[in-house]
Amino acid sequence: MLVNNAGIAVPDGDGRPSTVEIGTIQRTVEVGTLQRTLDVNVYGALRVTQVFLPLLRRADAGRIVNVSSTLGSLGALTSPGNPFAEIPAFAYTSSKTLLNALTGWLAVELASTSIKVNSVCPGHNATDMNGGVGAQHPAEGARVVVRAATLDADGPTGTFFDVNGTVPW
């Protein structure tokens, strides 16, 4: 199994789409918040997945779990009264949306194999990334990750879920 759990949120320079720091392509200038976030949260997961795929293809029951966030759900973002829409963190949230797209694409590509690919939201955990102010201990959040990593052969693939069930894409 592969659990893509590396992730960052860069508060300096993040914001709404109209103000997020995009960065520059020049080598001599520091990359912007959006690029730094995508480098870890999306490109990192894709690179690690590509490296591990040969091993997963040889497994009897390969599993890829992408640790995402409900903040990356377009369905949640656009639903009326959504409190997440007030969080000015376009770089972080869009990186999780793109991670969810990677999940869907991989599930389609690997549909004829025994590999299952899913995104999960572990909830708002108290970690170093948020200064320890999350609503739950990381061990609680790990439960949904373990569930996705240990799905049986009849389990879902190409889905996004949390401890309460399906999360809209």
- Residue 11 phi, psi (nearest 5): -65, -35
Sequence-separated (6 or more) residues with CB below 8 Å from residue 84? 70, 71, 76, 77, 93
- Residue 35 phi, psi (nearest 5): -65, -45
Catalytic positions, please? 92, 96
Counting the structural domains of the chain, the total is 1
- Angle at which helix 90-109 crosses helix 45-58, to 10 degrees, equals 20
Provide the 8-state DSSP code for 77.
H
- Residue 166 phi, psi (nearest 5): -65, 140
Rounded CA separation 125/142 (Å): 9
Rounded CA separation 103/31 (Å): 26
Computed over every residue of the chain, the mean pLDDT equals 90
Sequence-separated (6 or more) residues with CB below 8 Å from residue 138? 122, 125, 126, 127
- The structure's pTM equals 0.90
Residue span of the structural domain in which 46 resides: 2-166
User: What is the pLDDT confidence band of residue 30, given thresholds at 50, 70 and 90?
Assistant: low
User: What is the pLDDT confidence band of residue 167, given thresholds at 50, 70 and 90?
Assistant: very high
Mean pLDDT, rounded, for 42-63:
97
Cα first-last separation, the chain: 23
- CA–chain centroid gap for 147, Å, is 16
CATH of the domain at 37: 3.40.50.720
pLDDT at site 38: 95
pLDDT at site 139: 83
- 63-67 vs 116-120, strand pairing mode: parallel
